[in-house]
Each structure stands twice: as C-alpha cells, then as structure tokens.
C-alpha cells in the first residue's frame, strides 16, 4: 500500500484539493486553538487549515511525497506544521496531551482499525475531542470515493465499539455532496462524528 500512496501523491496536483474537509473546518472554526493530532494526514489540507487558526499541529503519514506536499502547502501560506513519517501498522502514540484529533476519510483493514482508533483516542487529554468523517458501508454503490471493499467502510456500531472509552457528542450519517479533488467528488454517504475522551 505504501507504493500505491507514494505513486498517488507523486502527482503535482493536490489530489484531494488544498481546502480542508468542510466538517473539520466547521469544527475548527468553533474550537479554541490547542494541540491537534492529524493521523494519516496526506497532503496536509486539514492540518494547514488548523495551523492558520492558531493550532499547534502534529501530523503523520507514511508517504514521503505526501509530507513534501503538505510542507510545501504550509510554507506557501506562511505557516508551520510538524509532520512525521509513520506506518500505521507499527504506530505507537506516546503522547496523552492532545486537545483534539482530526480524522478525515481514514479507512483501514479490520485488523488495524481498532488498534489505530484506540491509540488515537488514548493520545488525547481527558475530555479531548475526536472529530471524524468517514465513509459509511452504504457508500459502496456510489463510487465517488473511498475503498472498494466493504470491510474498510464504517457503521455507527463499529465506531461505538472502537471508541467505547469515549462519549459521542455528535453523530450524523447520510448522503451529502463532497468536493475534495478528483478522488472524493460527488454524492456520497458518510458518517460525521465527534467524540470526547472519558
């Protein structure tokens, strides 16, 4: 998979655009700046927006090409973000001091999903927020983004199980129009959720 993402992110264009996910932007606009974690952040569109709002941003991905483009995007806007290279299969998040984590369309195989979700939640301070948008299992026939395998898509029950140590403060699922570059474009069926660490 690393080779797949390196090749995809090697293109000059920002394949998911340079603007943040609109749900994440909406939440960032409501929140006081703090220290934020952006797992599997890709080309940096969400992290750079957070930095523009005064957040201390820590993000990671396992694509060198994605990191290069994210830092270029931040530099073009006169901003700084911290960006590490990390493989989710060997992820170890030692900090428990993030005020919030922001996850945009991170879809993992079943054997990785729970582990990564637990670590992301554990990295938050008590009361810290997790803001997430992902594709629902109903997304499969839309073919407007996301993985083509149902095991990598989500339901509310799956997220409730993965984040059993958090309280859900907002949940919404349904059809909406997404315009995030070439690969997330058109009518889609997503889950938007906000959780608070207990």
Which of left, alpha, beta for 52 (phi over 0: left; psi -120 to 50: alpha)? alpha
pLDDT tens readout for residues 35-67: 999 999 999 999 999 999 999 999 999 999 999
Q: How do 35-38 and 56-61 pair as beta strands?
A: parallel
Q: CA gyration radius for the chain? A: 15
Question: What three-state secondary structure class fits 3?
Answer: helix
What domains are there in the chain, each with its CATH number?
Answer: 2-197 (3.40.50.150)
Q: CA-to-CA distance for 150 and 136, rounded, in angstroms?
A: 9
pLDDT tens readout for residues 123-163: 999 999 999 999 999 999 999 999 999 999 999 999 999 99
pLDDT tens readout for residues 110-134: 999 999 999 999 999 999 999 999 9
Name, in order, each residue with C-beta under 8 angstroms of 193's C-beta and a sequence gap of 6 or more.
130, 131, 132, 133, 159, 168, 170, 171, 172
Helix (H) or strand (E) holding 176, with range, is strand 166-180
Q: Is residue 1 pLDDT above 90, yes or no? A: no
C-alpha distances (whole Å) from 128 to each of 70, 80, 86, 111 are 25, 23, 22, 25
Question: What three-state secondary structure class fits 80?
Answer: coil
Q: Is residue 83 pLDDT above 80, yes or no? A: yes
Is residue 174 within 8 A of residue 189, CB to CB? The reply is yes
């Amino acid at each position: 998979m690393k080779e797949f993402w390196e090749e995809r992110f090697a293109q000059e264009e920002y394949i998911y655009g340079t603007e943040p996910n609109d749900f994440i932007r909406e939440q960032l606009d409501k929140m006081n700046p703090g220290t934020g974690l952006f797992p599997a952040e890709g080309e940096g569109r969400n992290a750079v927006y957070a930095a523009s709002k005064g957040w201390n941003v820590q993000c990671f991905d396992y694509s060198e090409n994605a990191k290069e483009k994210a830092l270029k995007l931040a530099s073009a806007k006169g901003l700084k973000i911290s960006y590490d290279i990390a493989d989710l299969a060997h992820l170890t998040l030692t900090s428990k001091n993030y005020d919030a984590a922001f996850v945009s369309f991170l879809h993992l195989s079943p054997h990785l999903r729970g582990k990564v979700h637990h670590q992301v939640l554990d990295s938050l301070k008590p009361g810290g927020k997790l803001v997430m948008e992902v594709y629902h299992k109903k997304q499969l026939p839309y073919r407007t983004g996301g993985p083509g395998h149902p095991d990598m898509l989500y339901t509310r029950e799956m997220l409730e199980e993965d984040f059993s140590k958090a309280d859900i403060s907002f949940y919404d699922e349904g059809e909406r129009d997404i315009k995030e570059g070439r690969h997330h474009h058109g009518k889609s069926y997503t889950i938007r959720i906000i959780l608070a660490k207990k």
